[in-house]
């Protein structure tokens, strides 16, 4: 893994995509928090009768919006970590636009496969945690 500082004021496509996803997710969570819109049913739970791997994602984000990370991590630790990582990507993109530089992380093919396997293991462990909670 290598870290590089890249010059240029244009944010990367990943940063823009993550930013739009975070804005949409936070908007939905805040609207649900103040009960402006009805909640969406969990189709996974309706179809299979068990909690899905992302069960509690909206509630997790609501706790993060309220600045209560302990509760957020107790509900769905992987989603809480993912939202915090997404916030860091958004901050990096914003700083890149302002400062004209951004951080780029480069992985070798082997490191990419190891990272992908690690994510799959984390998803499985998180699902077990959410299911047993």
Rounded CA-CA distance 83/26 in Å is 10
Q: Which helix (H) or strand (E) is 56 found in, with range?
A: none
8 Å CB contact between 69 and 63 = yes
User: Position of tokens 């928090």?
Assistant: 33
The two three-digit tokens of residue 29, written as one number: 């969570």
Structure-model confidence comparison of residues 72 and 35, the more confident one: 72
- pTM given for the model: 0.78
Contacts (Cβ under 8 Å, ≥6 apart) of 95: 101, 102
Give residue-wise pLDDT tens across range 2-41: 766 766 656 667 778 888 888 898 898 889 888 888 887 8
**Range of weakest confidence among 26-35, 70-79, 89-98:** 89-98
Q: What is the pLDDT of residue 39?
A: 80
User: Position of tokens 């951080």?
Assistant: 103
The two three-digit tokens of residue 108, written as one number: 């070798």
Percent of all residues in the chain with a pLDDT value above 90, rounded to a whole number: 29
User: Position of tokens 């870290």?
Assistant: 3
Mean pLDDT of 59-84: 92
Mean pLDDT of 40-68: 87
8 Å CB contact between 50 and 111 = no
Q: What is the pLDDT of residue 17?
A: 85
Confidence of residue 80 (pLDDT cuts 50, 70, 90): very high
């Amino acid at each position: 893994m290598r870290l590089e500082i890249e010059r240029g004021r244009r944010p990367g496509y990943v940063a823009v995509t993550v930013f739009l996803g975070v804005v949409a997710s936070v908007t939905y969570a805040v609207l649900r928090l103040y009960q402006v819109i009805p909640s969406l049913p969990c189709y996974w739970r309706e179809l299979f009768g068990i909690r899905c791997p992302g069960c509690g994602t909206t509630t997790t984000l609501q706790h993060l919006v309220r600045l209560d990370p302990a509760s957020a991590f107790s509900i769905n630790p992987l989603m809480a970590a993912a939202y915090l990582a997404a916030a860091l990507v958004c901050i990096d993109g914003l700083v890149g636009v302002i400062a004209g530089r951004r951080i780029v992380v480069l992985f070798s093919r082997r490191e990419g496969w190891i990272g992908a396997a690690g994510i799959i293991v984390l998803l499985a462990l998180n699902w077990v945690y959410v299911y047993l909670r």
